Structure 1
Amino acid sequence: MKRVYFLGAGLFLLGSGSVLAGGIERSGQFLGPLFEEGNYLELSYGHVSPSASGRDQTPFGPGAATGNILGSYNSIGFAYKQQLNDQWSAALIVDQPLGADLLYPVGGSAMLGGTSVDVSSVNVTGVVRYKIPDSPFGVHAGIRASRTDGSVSVDGAAFGPVSGYSMSVDHDTAFGWLAGVSWERPEIGARVSLTYNSPINHDFRATERGPLVDPDGPGPAPALPLLDGSSPLRVSTPESWNLAFQTGLTPKTLLFGSIRWVDWSSFRIDPERLWQVTGHGLVELDDSTTYTLGIGHAFSERWSGAVSFSYEKAGDDMVSPLAPTNGSKSVTLAAIYTQDQMTVTTAVTYAALGDANPSMGTPAMAAAELEGSYAWGIGVKVGYSF
């Protein structure tokens, strides 16, 4: 029985474990196709339906129900890997790593109702790998292009005098890089790879709109449109490290896993006019580390199965209303069908999202309490080796 049946399947599951990791992450940026044998083509599709709801927190106690604030989303992916010779290979990978679709329904939450976020991104990664002759080691490096756009609106009593503020940015394309090392023992299905992904600095043009601001309170100066205007906005998507591993336990069984660390604390959105008026930006996040461990088994020449578990430690319960999750635990089940050169993988993921309190102010005061949040995800991947 060939262990190669599991190589793509294991890494597919690693990527599917990134449901809302760190708050806005939708894929783990792993490089599984680069390590496939020979030439390889891959198409993938995923759908995620999250749910997060709770009640307002007011000075007088629990308030209105928020309703579900998280929207469903789809993701598609493409990868092509070319084996150039015995030492050199190259891959092109297209994915959608970051995104947000959030709305506190109007008419529900008085504290946050009307607050919304819409962020989308598409990444194109080109990477080459060099396998050192007569050695189990290899090195890889590449360039990543990211096209991103988004908009944010804040509404509700929790935002006080800036309720009704909005900010949007047009598409911007920016570039980063990646580099890593790998170790392989194909005869036992073993591989360890470590990859560093650099920050990507987007230079947007932000358009801000907001309510009139009275600079001297009830004084003689009139309220002014201080929140309205257009200005440059730099947003850096964070650097990260990916450690992925796998090893054959028996000719039919593979153990696999990963550790992914992301520097979310460096990811800030500080529009110029909002910062001048309030002294605060829109988003502050904590760093995240996501652990995944799984096992795959071949039941026949054509059918295999796998299960993986992912864990992201919860941080402070007080979270941004624009990224209202706090750690997660998830399980993914997959079925893999192999026919000649084609492999079809289907997977389903359930993620329990940690309880969180969307909060505002310094010190932070909870505007809502979210409990029992979760997400379901399904994915299909078709791989063809030639």
Structure 2
Amino acid sequence: MTKKLTLGLLSACAFAGAAHAGGFTRGEADTDILYEDGTAVFRGGYTYVMPDRAYDTVRGAAGTDDAFTDSYGIPSFAAKFQISENFSCALTYTQPFGASSTYGTQAQAADRATDIAVAPTSRTALLGGNAVKEASFDTNEYGGTCAVNFAAGPGNIHFIGGVFSQSFDYSESKTFGTLEMDDSSAFGYRIGAAYEITEYALRAELMYRSQVDHEADGTFTSNSPLSFAGIPTGSKLSATGYGSLPQSLELNLQSGVAPGWLVFGSVKWTDWSVLQTLNYNITSLGDQQKNFFWKDGWTITGGVGHTFTDTVSGALSLTWDSGVDTGADIVTDTWTVGAGTLVKAGPGVLRLGGAVSYLTSGEQVVNGTQGADFNATADGDWAYAVTASYKIAF
């Protein structure tokens, strides 16, 4: 069995499968590169995800808008340097969290109608309601992670730790204006441990990634005259906001079970309950908030891989991701089938993967504690992802 080729198998399909995991999860730092052979190892890749979530009903009427979820890409880069026989470090880059939605005319009309119905004498209602047109945020993570390993029994034990800097950029376009805020850098850390027996393609790894707290500032640009505050069209007002992105803990397991065969699995807990609201203040307009009220998420993956030749391997995986919504929006359970191949090509190794996700049905509700912008339901929908990366080792 080609041990190192088999050990790299799971990433080819698991990375594409995880790209549409729960909440706002996107990419993961490629710390697996720490296990690769070579004094210097470089890997770069890109994943493209195409979700297709649309409203089936809006305020009780059949949905007519196109899907409100936007497609997105996830870049990834990692460089590992073997400093000594038992010590190595990696530099990594990815986009760990993000979201992008564009709402159609029916959803915008429902949003404005809810403003008027819920608080008919409010300033927002008197101006005809304030609907979300587009909303998005992006994060960028730049990290450094090191590992030290020692012989232990038939294998090696690894202790892993590192720090990272994460940026946050938020944009929301509504009827009254456009809000843009950013936090150029907030810091977090990751720590973990692993045990590996290369002879059997066996590895068990536990990795923790810390919560990151962001404090952002920016501007609000008015799209219409806000007469109640004496703000003419085109005015730029200062804005500040704060919120947290979650900590997570993940257990990864893999083992050879027969010549050329590998089984793998993982369990990941993500503390999405930390994201209750995004809070911000706009000068002259006061405190605002965007509701989420999410609960913690779980992601469970299992799969099998096979080495066909000394140069070609393949893998299949199945992932279940628990929904995190509680009614303010529709972020439901997801089932994903991923497939990947790993091919020795030229001076390096090419990984290709793809995934198909089924998004289960759900609903969002205005009344009670749910806090949705408008009542809506979604039937089962689909998402698709493709990924490619290339590794060179020296």
**Do they fold alike, i.e. is TM over 0.5?**
yes
Q: CA deviation at 1:25?
A: 1.1
Counterpart of 1:264 (choices 254, 272, 280) is 272
Aligned-partner Cα distance in 1 for 2:385–2:152: 42
Aligned-partner Cα distance in 1 for 2:335–2:77: 27
Contact 2:13/2:317 (CA < 8 Å) preserved in 1?
A: yes
Aligned equivalent of 2:246: 238
State the SS of the aligned residue for 1:132: strand
- Per-residue Cα deviation, 1:319-342 (whole angstroms, up to 9, x for no partner): 42xxx3212000111122124752
Instruction: Give structure 1 stretches of 5+ with no counterpart.
Output: 156-163, 214-221
Instruction: Give structure 2 stretches of 5+ with no counterpart.
Output: 112-130
Aligned-partner Cα distance in 2 for 1:133–1:99: 40
Contact 1:106/1:114 (CA < 8 Å) preserved in 2?
A: no
Question: 1:85 aligned to 2:84?
Answer: yes
- Which has the larger displacement, 133-142 or 78-87? 133-142
Counterpart of 2:359 (choices 353, 359, 364) is 353
Distance 1:278 1:355, change over 3 A: farther
State the SS of the aligned residue for 2:8: helix
Contact 2:181/2:239 (CA < 8 Å) preserved in 1?
A: no
Q: CA deviation at 1:51?
A: 0.4
Aligned-partner Cα distance in 1 for 2:6–2:20: 25
Matches within 5 A, 1:167-206: 167-206=179-218
Distance 1:30 1:42, change over 3 A: closer
Aligned-partner Cα distance in 1 for 2:178–2:193: 43
Q: CA deviation at 1:263?
A: 0.8
Question: 1:285 aligned to 2:284?
Answer: no
| TM-score, normalising length: structure 1 | 0.85
Aligned equivalent of 2:121: none
Distance 1:134 1:53, change over 3 A: closer
Question: 1:153 aligned to 2:173?
Answer: yes
Aligned equivalent of 2:160: 140
Q: CA deviation at 1:206?
A: 4.2
- Aligned identity (percent) is 23
| TM-score, normalising length: structure 2 | 0.84
Q: CA deviation at 1:30?
A: 5.5
Aligned-partner Cα distance in 1 for 2:230–2:282: 10
Counterpart of 1:223 (choices 205, 222, 228) is 228
- Per-residue Cα deviation, 1:21-70 (whole angstroms, up to 9, x for no partner): 22311124462112212232111111111101124432xx3244232111
RMSD: 2.8
Aligned equivalent of 2:44: 43
Counterpart of 2:350 (choices 333, 344, 354) is 344
Counterpart of 2:304 (choices 281, 291, 295) is 295
Aligned-partner Cα distance in 2 for 1:102–1:243: 31
- Per-residue Cα deviation, 1:119-144 (whole angstroms, up to 9, x for no partner): 11211110000102445322010011
Aligned-partner Cα distance in 2 for 1:166–1:56: 27
Contact 2:29/2:76 (CA < 8 Å) preserved in 1?
A: no
**Structure 2: which amino acid aligns with 1:236?**
S
Q: CA deviation at 1:172?
A: 1.7
Distance 1:341 1:254, change over 3 A: farther
Distance 1:374 1:225, change over 3 A: farther
Aligned equivalent of 2:70: 71
